[in-house]
Amino acid sequence: MPAPSRPRRSVLYTPGANPRALEKARSLAADGFIFDLEDAVAPDAKDAARVAVAQALAHGGYRGREVLLRVNAPATAWGHADLVAAAGMPIDAVLLPKVECAGTVCEAEALLVEAGAPRHLAIWCMVETPRGVLHAEEIAAASERVGGLVMGTSDLAKDLGAQHTRDRLPLLMALEHCLLAARAHKLAILDGVYLDLADDEGFIAACRQGRELGFDGKTLIHPRTIAAANAAFAPSPDDVAWAHRVIVAHGEAVAAGKGIVLVDGKLIENLHVESAHRLVALAQAIAALEHDDKP
């Protein structure tokens, strides 16, 4: 599992056809945004949405947040134009919908490169179909540009004929399989959305479960859920304090030539030290984001 290069506790879907939403995103405390040209945009508004997103990004003001552009699939009438436009936008990644094989990633990458996309522009992939889940490892390994996976749990549940239960038991195998694929290739991975905006308790439970499973954060459909997601996926003060104690104790043991170190009676190994460093780095990155938000 890689050290987190940036917080991804909360990543908000933002409709590309909604100028008010694009403007409001500049003041929101989400760690990232998915500017959406696909599901959230009607067919007759696709071209206008692409222009609106390009203008919003050119204007800037998103305060260092991670920005992904969810394009229409390359095989659709809008996919090629979306990718060509994305190649010149100041974004962190292109998000491909309903990816089911490595070929889709390679096709999109070829279009991006042909359009002059910079080398740092990543490709993220939505896994939201049974075939996509079965081919998750192939997708994760498709290109060096692949930076992460995003679970599309709503579409996946529909295709499976599964119910949306509080414990998400019908989806657990798929979630864990995709987590394995992402971590095997050192990729980030985001949990799917929670659809019931009136169920605050259920949303918090889903966030807690997502963190326990190993997700980096949760995709969101409404700004009112940002704070809860940020709290759920952030390390607690106690976690950070413990991590610092582990790092200090291990450093002292190494300096003294000791091979074993105990912290609060618990045996500490290298894997605990690596986890501690990742946690501290994440906490520092979150603090930096929050500092930038202060007037």
Q: Is 229:207 a contact under the CB 8 Å cutoff? A: yes
Q: What is the pLDDT of residue 2?
A: 45
Unique residue bearing structure tokens 């896994």:
127
The C-alpha atoms of residue 163 and residue 160 are separated, in whole angstroms, by 9
- Give the integer Cα–Cα distance in Å for 275 and 57: 35
SS (H, E, C) 237-253: HHHHHHHHHHHHHHHHH
Q: Where are the alpha helices (H) located in the chain, listed in sequence order?
A: 19-24, 46-59, 79-87, 102-114, 130-134, 136-140, 153-160, 172-184, 200-213, 226-233, 237-255, 270-293
What is the chain's Cα-based Rg? 20
Specify the pTM: 0.94
Sequence-distant (6+) residues with CB within 8 A of 37 are 16, 46, 49, 50, 53, 69, 70, 71, 72, 78, 82
pLDDT at 73: 96
Pick the CATH number of 10-233 from 1.10.3370.10, 3.20.20.60, 2.40.50.140, 1.10.3720.10: 3.20.20.60
Please give the chain's pLDDT, 295 residues, in tens.
Answer: 444 569 999 999 999 999 999 999 999 999 999 999 999 999 999 999 999 999 999 999 999 999 999 999 999 999 999 999 999 999 999 999 999 999 999 999 999 999 999 999 999 999 999 999 999 999 999 999 999 999 999 999 999 999 999 999 999 999 999 999 999 999 999 999 999 999 999 999 999 999 999 999 999 999 999 999 999 999 999 999 999 999 999 898 888 887 778 888 888 888 889 999 999 999 999 999 987 776 6
Transcribe 265-280 into DSSP letters: TEEE-HHHHHHHHHHH
| Structure tokens that stand for 108 in this block | 């999109």
Q: What is the DSSP letter of 225?
A: G
Q: How would DSSP label each residue in 39-60?
A: TTS-GGGHHHHHHHHHHHHHH-
Predicted pLDDT at 3? 46
> Which residues sit opposite 219 in a β-bridge?
11
